[in-house]
Structure 1
Amino acid sequence: MRLIADENISWRLIKLIPHWSILPSNEIKCERRLTDFMIWEYAKANNYTVLTFDEDFSELQNLLSYPPKIIWLRTGNVSTSEIASLLLKYEKRIEAFLTDDESGIYEIHG
């Protein structure tokens, strides 16, 4: 599972789910502030799934299709440990989503 976490998701998530491959978007080398489109393009070029709270990625997918796939956290303001718990709770469903060629977005409500 290769995920790129949008900038509004704490890098501390990596420590809470160490068996997942999560790249914080702030580790993408860029000369200026990253935009959602730049994260999208990086994820597409490097075979990552975008992990985000941001509706903008859903809109990008509506315009550009997929890849990349999106895991959209629709939880409101929750702690990093709560995010980790939700992701682990839905781990099997997320794995199934990532192998499903018919789906481009997986929404997690909390």
Structure 2
Amino acid sequence: MKLLFDQNLSRKLVTCLADIFPNPSHVQFHQLAEKTDTEVWDFAKLNDFCIVTQDADFTERSRLYSSPPKVVWLRCGNAPTNQVETLIRSGQEAIQELLSNSSIHCLELH
């Protein structure tokens, strides 16, 4: 499973985190930036992506529908990209556990 960064996150994260998460992508690369959450959800599900977002809506969707796709909810507010990168790097093990464990559907990182 690959990471798909939501529109509220910088596209720079794709290259910044490619060393620890293979083949990450961003919604803008798939013409999804202006699409609905449902369309992003369906795309992620069909293409084996885990959604990385600051949007609580995806977390709620995960609680309702389970996975796939899985969701990483970043609870860092409107932080600079380097702080978001640091948060994701510090949560690398937890994210890997999310991706590999079929009983976990959503992860919150603070």
Instruction: Please indicate, yes or no, whether the TM-score normalized by the shorter chain is above 0.5.
Output: yes
* Map 1:33-48 → 2, pairs under 5 A: 33-48=34-49
Q: Give the equivalent residue in structure 1 for 2:50.
A: 49
Q: Which has the larger radius of gyration?
A: 1
The equivalent residue for 2:29 is 27
- Paired residue total: 108
Aligned partner of 1:83 in structure 2 is: 84
Residue type of the alignment partner of 2:31: K
Give the SS at the match of 2:7: coil
For residues 68-95 of structure 1, the C-alpha deviation after alignment (integer angstroms, 9 at most, x for no partner) is 0000001111111111111111111211
Equivalent runs, 1:84-99 vs 2, <5 Å: 84-99=85-100
CA distance in 2: counterparts of 1:26 and 1:58, whole angstroms: 20
- The alignment's C-alpha RMSD in Å is 1.6
Please tell me the residue identity of whatever aligns with 1:36.
Answer: D
Match of 2:8 in 1: 8
Shift of residue 18, structure 1, vs aligned partner: 2.5
* Distance in structure 1 (CA, Å) of the matches to 2:85 and 2:34: 26
Query: Aligned to 2:78, what secondary structure does the other structure show?
Result: coil
C-alpha displacement at 1:61, in angstroms? 1.7
Which amino acid letter does the alignment assign opposite residue 26 of structure 2? P
CA distance in structure 2 between the partners assigned to 1:60 and 1:4 by the alignment: 16
Whole-angstrom distance in 1 between the partners of 2:63 and 2:26: 24
Percent of pairs identical after alignment?
Answer: 31
Task: State TM-score, norm by structure 1.
Answer: 0.90
Normalised to the residue count of structure 2, the TM-score between the two structures is 0.90
Could you tell me which runs of 5 or more consecutive residues in structure 2 were left unpaired when the two chains were aligned: none
